[in-house]
Amino acid sequence: MSTLGQMSPRILKGGIALIDPGTGRVERVIALQYNPETITRTLQAQTIGDGGDADRSQALRLTGPPVESYQLDAAIDAVDQLADADEDAVRYGVQPYLSALELLLYPTSAQLAEQHAAAGRGELEIAPLEAPLALFIWSTSRVAPVRITSFSVIEEFFDTRLNPIRARLSLGMRVLSVSDLGYDHRGGALFLRYQQQKERLAGNSPAATAAALGLREVPS
């Protein structure tokens, strides 16, 4: 006889994976503790001009993929870990999880120290610090290279050491396309896979007829 655990479907978690853009090695995976109930996505078309007589010949032309962004709100807590006497939860609450997310916006302290040392050596042309490539993963059909654009958190309930044991966070991300990364960058190749998956899914969308729109035929 099947047990309830065997009958229940496995629920995948969304999250972020950090990979080395050169080697593709996975450096860290951050899974959301609880999947958010909603995710907001926006797409802004990249077109030539903004209308007017001078732009009529360019009205249907796209300069590249749209600028796509994700916004999600999620909750985390350490209640179960505290009940199991997890050492990190007892000492720090949810701070380790929050720190892992916050560090997505930081260069490493080693990079900062090296940049400062290079400036002290008189190396004036210092390249901007490069972060690992972040992938937002929301099912196997949505794996997008992203840049974290915003992060805010509301910490709730504190233990006797003032460690937060519950928090609500808001995370904003911008999808990085080939327009941002180029075709030779690993992230650019991952973006093309992301778009190609959209194209495959669109091919599975239900077909409609002109009659469904109240027309005898589509005007030509």
- 3-class secondary-structure state, position 100: helix
Q: What is the pTM of this model?
A: 0.86
Please determine, for residue 5, whether its predicted confidence score (pLDDT) is greater than 60. Answer: no
Q: Rounded CA gap, 195 and 175, in Å?
A: 11
Q: Which residues contact 3 (CB under 8 A, 6 or more apart)?
A: none
Residues 42, 72: contact at Cβ < 8 Å?
no
Q: pLDDT-derived band of residue 50, with 50, 70 and 90 as boundaries?
A: low
DSSP for residue 131:
P
pLDDT of amino acid 52: 60
Percent of residues, the chain, with pLDDT higher than 90: 63
- Nearest C-alpha neighbor of 196 from the set 134, 147, 146, 141: 141
Q: Which residues contact 16 (CB under 8 A, 6 or more apart)?
A: 29, 30, 101, 104, 134, 135, 136, 137, 146
Q: What angle do CA 208, 199, 202 make, to 5 degrees?
A: 25
H helical segments located in 19-124: 79-83, 87-92, 95-102, 109-120
Please determine, for residue 55, whether its predicted confidence score (pLDDT) is greater than 70. Answer: no
DSSP for residue 57:
G
pLDDT of amino acid 53: 60
Q: pLDDT-derived band of residue 3, with 50, 70 and 90 as boundaries?
A: low
Taking residue 74's Cβ as centre, other Cβ atoms within 10 Å add up to: 19
pLDDT of amino acid 51: 58
Q: Rounded CA gap, 107 and 102, in Å?
A: 11
Q: pLDDT-derived band of residue 2, with 50, 70 and 90 as boundaries?
A: very low
pLDDT digits (tens, 9 = 90+) for 163-212: 999 999 999 999 999 999 999 999 999 999 999 999 999 999 888 888 88
What value does the mean pLDDT take over residues 70-87?
Answer: 93
Please determine, for residue 4, whether its predicted confidence score (pLDDT) is greater than 50. Answer: no
pLDDT digits (tens, 9 = 90+) for 109-152: 888 888 888 878 877 566 677 788 999 999 999 999 999 999 99
Length of the chain: 220
Please state, in angstroms and as integers, the Cα–Cα distance from residue 156 to each residue in 162, 165, 167, 168, 182, following that order: 10, 7, 5, 8, 42
Pairing of strands 62-77, 39-47: antiparallel
Domains and CATH numbers, the chain: 10-49+61-108+129-198 (2.40.30)
Look up tokens 């490069």; give the residue.
130
